[in-house]
Structure 1
């Protein structure tokens, strides 16, 4: 499978998994930390998209204090913007190196492919933490496994 096809599938999974987590967080009593982690996932997606677009992300908080309604809006917006962003790429230009600053102002140069991979994996890491918090609070964890999506 071509690299871009893999990235596009990862972003289909990212949106699917975010929607499943959002639904679980809306249903019942959940720890505030789970909502905080979900808001962080979504904000990190926005921060990285801003960097990928060559814009300054320094004013965007990494750990926003937003509620589930705002999370739902941001998840929808992030998905739309990532789909638009990805539509302009092919296997060659997704390897392009971009420059950006992290939240501490340090400069980096990284390939678009590696950044997109990081964003997808970062979200999955934190969705696992959310599932642990859900289980600890007596809720059923959410199956966000990639294989479940592709079956």
Structure 2
């Protein structure tokens, strides 16, 4: 499973990069324009995704136990950043995830975590990383909906397109 979860995380990086590349081709105001949707803007979705990726890395690595403060601080740090600035942060966290995964002998090892709302549980590291990937997939769909609402197309980020890009 370890090899497959690394591929899944690489998909997450690929999909985020593809989305950022797509956003760069659209008028700049599309990123921060407010709409009536689950999130008020593309920027808000991307900020949320970034903050949660950071939070889950902190959970998985045990770097932070005060997740509420971490999320609050990161949310303030990224609020109002340009897409390019946020993309730079995404690239850095992707590298940190990769470094972490490369340093773990068994990504299927069960670890204990505590979530501020959901409580404590024991789960495999790979399952937590899969959550990060799934969370990203879900919210990239929100971005597509917001883009379409503004009259712009989304970009295909489905896993099958990642596989085609890797194995074709």
Q: Which residue of 1 aligns with 2:147?
A: 134
Work out which of the residue numbers 67, 70, 75 in structure 2 matches 1:60. Answer: 70
Aligned mates of 2:85, 2:111 — CA distance in 1: 30
TM-score normalised per structure 1: 0.86
Within 5 Å, give how 1:26-105 maps onto structure 2. 26=24, 27-28=26-27, 29-30=29-30, 31-32=33-34, 33-56=41-64, 57-61=67-71, 64=75, 65-67=79-81, 68-90=83-105, 93-104=106-117
- Cα distance change of structure 1 residues 132 and 118 upon mapping to structure 2, 3 Å threshold: same
How much is the aligned-residue C-alpha RMSD, in angstroms? 2.0
**Contact in 2 for aligned 1:99/1:108 (Cα 8 Å):** yes
C-alpha distance after superposition, 1:107-137 (max 9, x if no partner): 3322211101111000000001110111111
Aligned mates of 1:103, 1:19 — CA distance in 2: 30
* Matched residue SS, 1:140: coil
Aligned mates of 1:110, 1:150 — CA distance in 2: 27
**Contact in 1 for aligned 2:112/2:122 (Cα 8 Å):** yes
Q: Mark the runs of 5 or more structure 2 residues left unpaired by the alignment.
A: 35-40
CA drift of 1:42 comes to 1.3
Task: Tell me the matched-pair count.
Answer: 147
* Matched residue SS, 2:69: coil
CA drift of 1:25 comes to 2.7
